[in-house]
Amino acid sequence: MSTTPTVYDVAEQSGVSIATVSRVYRNPDSVREKTRERVLAAARELGYVPSGNARGLASRSTGVLGLCFPDHSDPDTETEAAAADADDDHAFMLYSDQIIRGMERAARRHGYALLIAASLKGGPESLVAKVAGRVDGFAVLSRTVPTEDLDVISRRLPVVMLAGPRENDELDHLDHIEVANADGQRELTRHLVDDHGLRRLVFVGGEERSPDAQARFLGYQEACREAGLPVREEPDLRAEMMTQAEGARAADELLDRAEAAGPPPDAMLFANDQMAIGALHALERRGVRVPDDIAVTGFDGIPLSRLVRPALTTVRQPMRQLGEEAVELLVRRLGAEREREPVDLMLPVSVVRRASCGCGRG
């Protein structure tokens, strides 16, 4: 906890959102009495006073930028990295690792250190509260923390939202960086249909609140409609954690369904590479040949996708650039462009055709 208590400390101690603390002081009648008393009690205990000094926190430079990113580590990938005894740890870097590397590189270039907060113990609001009082600005993964809370913080510190579109102009005044998820998944699905003649497709999506996973499913739906293929309103399966284990479980379940009701799918499309890699392991275990029996595709372009066998067809997104652009936006906000209109930045993606869909085997 910082020496001078902040609104973030009050929010954490009282167990409410930062926006609620702000309303207690700006418009107390809009907050329930019991909640209001809890917030005020926490403020008294901490010695918090909503003064000009508190509002001046943004002008007190720390030389540090923050990244709030939930820990989406994959135990199976970590096990593979240890077993490989590889000299190049880069080969086993996941999505979040690549973003961190990009932010670190750009932060160092501008003379900043990077503070990474990855644990969600105590809830995402607690995570942001711990970071916000210690940095000059920070990036946060979309839908991790309520946009209303982040908007309150952004009045004092620049905040960049990663990997998600703007919710609406009234609520959301943050800078946003996302990648062309729908475009990439649409192009990949078209490739399977038009170039390989595959018709029985299944899609394994991520959790419903992930804007990336939802955009990828939307691109898949659009390509299926264009090709005259049946389109489901929901993914054939959803995975909560989008890990290798979840991908293996999904592949097993889809095969079990096919054995019971048939026929098996021509292709399994996964919302990220980690799940697709897990599926490759499960299919090999069950004697299913990829791509001869079933094609498999992923999304992200993590280094491991080119090392598995067969090498994974995927959509490569610019993960490091995502981190670098976040820092560039934060630095500009901290400089001469503090009052500019919110920025929406869309980064392009590219389809990488490999052996898991039938490409590149000659």
Residue linked to tokens 């990828």: 216
* Helix (H) or strand (E) segment spanning residue 106: helix 95-109
159 and 288 together in one domain: no
7 and 84 together in one domain: no
**Mean pLDDT calculated for residue range 57-84:** 68
156 and 50 together in one domain: no
* Pairwise CA distance, residues 110 & 114, whole Å: 11
User: The tokens of 161 are what?
Assistant: 């939202």
The number of distinct structural domains making up the chain is: 3
**Mean pLDDT calculated for residue range 315-333:** 96
pLDDT, position 126: 61
Residue linked to tokens 């009701």: 261
The residue range of the domain holding 21 is 1-60
* Residue 315, Cβ density class (10 Å: 0-12 exposed, 13-18 middle, ≥19 buried): buried
308 and 194 together in one domain: yes
pLDDT, position 143: 80
* Residue 343, Cβ density class (10 Å: 0-12 exposed, 13-18 middle, ≥19 buried): middle
pLDDT, position 122: 57
104 and 152 together in one domain: yes
Q: Is the pLDDT at 279 greater than 70, yes or no?
A: yes
224 and 272 together in one domain: yes
144-190: pLDDT as tens digits: 788 888 887 888 889 999 998 887 877 788 999 999 999 999 999 99
CA distances from 90 to 81, 125, 181, 302 (A): 10, 31, 24, 9
CATH number at residue 142: 3.40.50.2300
3-class secondary structure per residue, 206-260: CCCCCHHHHHHHHHHHHHHHHCCCCCCCCCCEECCCCCHHHHHHHHHHHHHHHHH
CB 265 within 8 A of CB 224: no
Whether 301 maps to a domain, the answer reads yes
Residue linked to tokens 């055709």: 353
pLDDT, position 262: 82
Q: Which of 1-10, 92-101, 270-279 is predicted with the least confidence, judged by mean pLDDT?
A: 1-10
Q: Over the chain, what is the mean pLDDT?
A: 87
**Mean pLDDT calculated for residue range 333-345:** 88
